[in-house]
Structure 1
């Protein structure tokens, strides 16, 4: 069964090295386990590509059965845990940058004071990547925008503001609030949303088209680029809280917001530990800032 878990981690990370780091193995151990799995099934399951490690055509046919086996095995463990009480378990979460950085560490810490033997696997990505993880059962649930992801169940926990991020010497930096039309002409640095973008939706609602020059996945890289004068951006207000970049963050008129939700297929089918943690987050949602 361990080899199936390792295969899942390799595919999720698209890397033997990152999978080893996530699971606490050496890279050679991961390679050996994958080689052993391929030998057992007498086929090549994995291949290397420009985007990283991925399934071969034979692996694509085999993996759904492995994924179902893992799901059933986790259900078996959950049943044992529910009988014995929540003494152990692993919670697998997919989250956007602002949530993983500013909310989850404290929530993890508080939850582990009650359930110290619970472990967390946190995967950070854009909306599209996170939804793929959910569809493929690589995570138990996600914390992301409620505006994207048809067909999933969602529990709203917070609404964060999306602010304009500008260099300190920008002419608009002195304003208390920035009309969205004033952001359409500057070179714009767009955060990669993986299929959905709050800034682009806000511009669309205002009948505007921004001058997108860069599309970047990492919020902190974007702030560094804004500081360098390469453009302006719209990001979650949360990412400004713990940064020393020489940028300013100002509210936008009309408001641009991100409704943040817990997203999952079916709460009743989540692992027991994940059900507990979802309830824990909901109970503490008033403390999120």
Structure 2
């Protein structure tokens, strides 16, 4: 089977550009164009729409894309199973992870994984937890790190309970206090992560608002963790971030546990209904060992 032309079409669809798809796959632009054109000729369909605004899938291309993705995914699983039967520790894994987990946990996990299985290649895609869940359900990644609530389409193993913390400037009145009362936010200027960037922070404030007669509102919404910590350091307000996010941070800020405590559960997940590839199973095993779950 000439699987490469199907893989090329999927990559073009994902990146919206033949040039970018060619760079990602290590092919020339003309080679990728030829592969997509071969598919169009084979089926007598136009899969792409080309205009001054760029490249997009045609209606036929949109309809066929899920089936072609599924074909590529099954082909990769077939190759890995065949390699496994031959005793070869080869394979390819697509991992979805948010930047905080990638920074705090994944380097040690991947180092251990590489030492055991040096011939397995991985692709790490940084994305928010909700984006990782969507990518898993769509079959765009093989495993991902997500937070609750979890989709019923996924098999989930909880790895850790990540504390949500109050982030305070160094001269804050509660900078030396043992904890930060949740209701105290009603007296503060709040710098808040946008809902799209982190829905766990929104849950904290939703619980706070359920305790108050007048809901609190944010002084400003920001979609970047480091920008928030820099603003807090400058005394512009206070914030809520997770313990994972605030690890290894270069800012002069104070971190306080909330009262009552607030958490988010972080899990590793795969899509239900299909056994993960041997390489993905090996990776999950390393992850569980890292968190002492196996």
Whether TM-score is above 0.5 comes out as: yes
In 2: Cα distance, 1:223 partner to 1:17 partner: 37
**Which residue does 1:227 correspond to in 2?**
233
**Which residue does 1:212 correspond to in 2?**
218
In 2: Cα distance, 1:218 partner to 1:14 partner: 25
Larger CA deviation: 76-85 vs 111-120: 76-85
In 2: Cα distance, 1:187 partner to 1:48 partner: 47
8 Å contact 2:129–2:145 — kept in the other structure?
A: no
**Which residue does 2:263 correspond to in 1?**
257
TM-score, normalised to structure 1's length?
0.84
Q: CA deviation at 1:219?
A: 2.0
In 2: Cα distance, 1:224 partner to 1:17 partner: 37
Flag the 1:125–1:71 CA change in 2: closer, same or farther, 3 A.
same
Flag the 1:230–1:33 CA change in 2: closer, same or farther, 3 A.
farther
In 1: Cα distance, 2:98 partner to 2:131 partner: 10
**Which residue does 1:40 correspond to in 2?**
39
Q: CA deviation at 1:9?
A: 4.1
TM-score, normalised to structure 2's length?
0.83
Residue 200 of structure 1 pairs with residue 199 of structure 2? no
Which runs of structure 2 are paired with 1:231-246 in the superposition (5 Å)? 231-246=237-252
Flag the 1:173–1:149 CA change in 2: closer, same or farther, 3 A.
farther
**Which residue does 2:115 correspond to in 1?**
113
Structure 1 gap ranges (5+)? none
Which runs of structure 2 are paired with 1:117-156 in the superposition (5 Å)? 117-156=119-158
Q: CA deviation at 1:47?
A: 6.4
In 2: Cα distance, 1:38 partner to 1:218 partner: 41
Flag the 1:167–1:111 CA change in 2: closer, same or farther, 3 A.
same
8 Å contact 2:163–2:263 — kept in the other structure?
A: yes
Deviations 1:223-265 (A, max 9, x none): 2233344432211212322121222221111111111111121
Q: CA deviation at 1:189?
A: 3.1
Structure 2 gap ranges (5+)? none
Q: CA deviation at 1:195?
A: 8.9
Please give the root-mean-square deviation of Cα atoms over the aligned residues, in Å. 3.0
Q: CA deviation at 1:130?
A: 1.4
Deviations 1:252-282 (A, max 9, x none): 1111111111112138521110011112211
In 1: Cα distance, 2:141 partner to 2:225 partner: 23
Residue 25 of structure 1 pairs with residue 26 of structure 2? yes
Secondary structure of 1:176 counterpart: coil
Q: CA deviation at 1:134?
A: 0.9
8 Å contact 2:10–2:65 — kept in the other structure?
A: no
8 Å contact 1:178–1:253 — kept in the other structure?
A: yes
Please identify the structure whose Cα radius of gyration is greater.
2
Q: CA deviation at 1:125?
A: 1.3
Q: CA deviation at 1:39?
A: 5.7
Residue 277 of structure 1 pairs with residue 279 of structure 2? no
